[in-house]
Amino acid sequence: MKILMVSSEAVPWAKTGGLADMVSALSISLAELGHDVRIVIPRYYPIDRAKLKLLPGAMGVPMGGGIQEWSAVYATDMPGTSSKNPVKVYFVDHEIFFGRDGIYGNAVETDFIDNSRRFTFFCRAAFQLCKKIKWYPDVLHAHDWPAAVAPVYLKFAERAAGASGEFKKTVSILTIHNLGYQGIYHKDNFDYAGLGWDVFYNGGFEDWSMLNMLKAGLYSADKINTVSPNYAKETMTQAHGFRLDGVLRYRNADYCGILNGIDTEVWNPSKDKYIPETYSLEDMAGKAKAKKALQKEFGLHEDPNIPVIGMVTRLTDQKGVGELFGPTYGSAWSICRDMDLQMILLGSGEYWCENEISGLSSRLSNFSAKIGYSEKISHLIEAGSDFFLMPSRYEPCGLNQMYSLVYGTLPIVRSTGGLVDTVQNYDEKTGNGTGFMFEQLNPSSIYNTVGWAVWAWYNRPKDIKKMQERGMTQNFSWESSALKYVELYEETFKAQGMKIPAGNEPDVPEIVPEKQKKEAPKKETPKKEAVKKETYKKEQPKEKTAKSKKSAPAKTKKSAPAKPKKAAAATTPKKPVAKKTKKK
Ligand code: ADP
């Protein structure tokens, strides 16, 4: 299949979050499966033109009000993809819209005032690009609100009656990476889209008299998905739907969740170049060394016998930082005061939170934080910690809990979104599970569940070891996710009453002379497609039924009975309060 990814971010060129990782990783995996995958992103100011190839000729993009925007197009191959079937990446270079620092905003203007126009133009430009290179995708795969108007153009312009017809066999998918961001702007911006005002209403843009770009995409895309099955369910409820739950329920038949994968080349303890010594299930010595190095890096007492709780996070409300670090009510202070543990954090974000964290660092001897962004330290935290804390308010997929699992670091998470799909709650009776979960987001739930995990660390070392082993053998590779996307693409063709493209069309060069085009040979690989689907079916993961433990109690090393057996007796589930009691 020919697949065009339309995205505002893609690593290694532009990243603010998991979207950038996902777009590139999925594209690479799809290309490895034999598909012809291309990505289009804007050329932001920091992307060095000198490292890209300029396509000949300017590209005109017709917008509303008779405006013709002009841009250049640059291209390169995605690093790490094979030269036989590389993922081609195109950069739309429009100086006024994208020649500035920041993708969506900067320190002064957090949401650029012309974002609606910038990304509407970008969506239109994606089609002009295809026309320019004479390559028409079978699948147009748009990501999040900045690309959400692309399926609208497909439906109401390129596939509509009277259109030139190059995209009549193209289907569209819209992936929601975070429903909290929708691209809501004043409706005065709509004229610029060059779509009639009937589309403003029929195409789903209208949102309480404002213009909502994501909502329009949700109305218009042939299929919609999000980045985990559980988040797909949650977003159809009022509690997690960010006012679009009704639209998603309306599109229920065309909506699903596909779990993101992780980059197993980068996030792999047996290959990790950022940690002092690599390790694996067979030889865990490297994990102990990483713990020592982590404690040193954060200026904590280098003690292998104390559990370390790690965090790497954006400091925003979504991540539950209010309940953890909120002035006077957050539970981080009491966790560190009451429990025999060390807590480590790497993150940046809201100013109040950075301030509170700095305050805690200076007052608590067992809490240490670094405010900032560091790829290297984030790897060290994943490897060197015993537990990884994610008290998220909502989490569409979440990557860190998957990294934690494969690094033998047990996640302590709120049961929301993708965390439910990836972490299995600890069961004291059987020893089963891969992490510790809680349902309600409030300071005492976090306190109790951290306490429960720490109690298990001191009192149930065998269970902890088994949980580590289970986590480290999980398969979160992109390959299985990519196969599910192939299945989704195929379903979309079926639902549209279209034929599923049999294989890859010949790779047409950017500017094709007429003669050469006619001579291009046709390759068909229907057998390969059939094999792929079967593999996918076999690899369907079993649904997990993780239940979270309500009001799990805190226990500290100081309060832990000397013999684990006694501890077990004292913590029979019938009397959970006993676990809370400190030994006097
Ligand atoms: P989100 O995209 O909502 O921030 P995810 O868990 O999906 O959350 O992905 C976040 C990614 O960004 C992870 O790879 C995480 O390790 C990384 N990250 C977040 N904050 C930092 C930081 N301060 N330093 C290094 N990496 C970070």
Mean pLDDT by runs of 10 across the 584 residues of the chain is: 98 91 95 97 96 97 97 96 94 96 90 97 98 98 98 96 92 97 97 96 95 98 98 97 97 98 93 97 97 98 98 95 95 97 96 96 97 94 98 96 98 98 97 98 98 98 98 94 97 94 56 44 40 36 40 43 34 33 33
Count CA atoms closer than 13 A to 182's CA, side-chain side: 22
By CB neighbour count within 10 A (0-12 exposed, 13-18 middle, 19+ buried), where does 238 fall? exposed
**Residue ranges around ligand 1 (CB below 6 Å):** 17-18, 312-314, 346-348, 373-375, 378, 397-400
Residue 382 alpha carbon, nearest atom of ligand 1: 16
Ligand 1 centre to CA of 362 (Å) is: 25
* Its pTM surpasses 0.75: yes
Quick one: pLDDT at residue 161? 85
Query: Is omega for the bond preceding 526 within 30 degrees of 0, making it cis?
Result: no
Choose the residue to mutate in 16, 26, 392, 400 for probing ligand 1, maximizing ligand atoms within 8 Å of C-beta: 400
CA 41 vs CA 82, 182, 210, 454: distances in Å: 21, 18, 26, 45
Quick one: pLDDT at residue 265? 87
- Give exposure, 104-113, as e/b (b: 16+ Cβ within 10 Å): beeeeeeebe
Are 256 and 353 in contact by the 8 Å Cβ rule? The answer is: no
Quick one: pLDDT at residue 504? 53
Are 175 and 144 in contact by the 8 Å Cβ rule? The answer is: yes
Quick one: pLDDT at residue 80? 85
Quick one: pLDDT at residue 98? 97
**Strand ordering across the sheet containing 206-207:** 184-186, 210-212, 206-207
Ligand 1 centre to CA of 277 (Å) is: 23
Residue 372 alpha carbon, nearest atom of ligand 1: 23
- Give exposure, 470-484, as e/b (b: 16+ Cβ within 10 Å): bbbebebebbbbbbb
Are 409 and 474 in contact by the 8 Å Cβ rule? The answer is: no
- Specify the DSSP class assigned to residue 435: B
Residue 401 alpha carbon, nearest atom of ligand 1: 6
Q: Give DSSP secondary structure letters for 304-327.
A: TTS-EEEEEEEESGGGTHHHHHST
Residue 17 alpha carbon, nearest atom of ligand 1: 2
Choose the residue to mutate in 177, 262, 348, 373 for probing ligand 1, maximizing ligand atoms within 8 Å of C-beta: 373
The alpha-helical segments, DSSP class H, found in 267-363 are 285-297, 321-325, 332-338, 351-363
Of 130, 104, 135, nearest to 9 (Cα)? 104
Are 174 and 254 in contact by the 8 Å Cβ rule? The answer is: no
Quick one: pLDDT at residue 13? 96
Choose the residue to mutate in 15, 16, 103, 312 for probing ligand 1, maximizing ligand atoms within 8 Å of C-beta: 312
By CB neighbour count within 10 A (0-12 exposed, 13-18 middle, 19+ buried), where does 561 fall? middle
- Specify the DSSP class assigned to residue 477: B
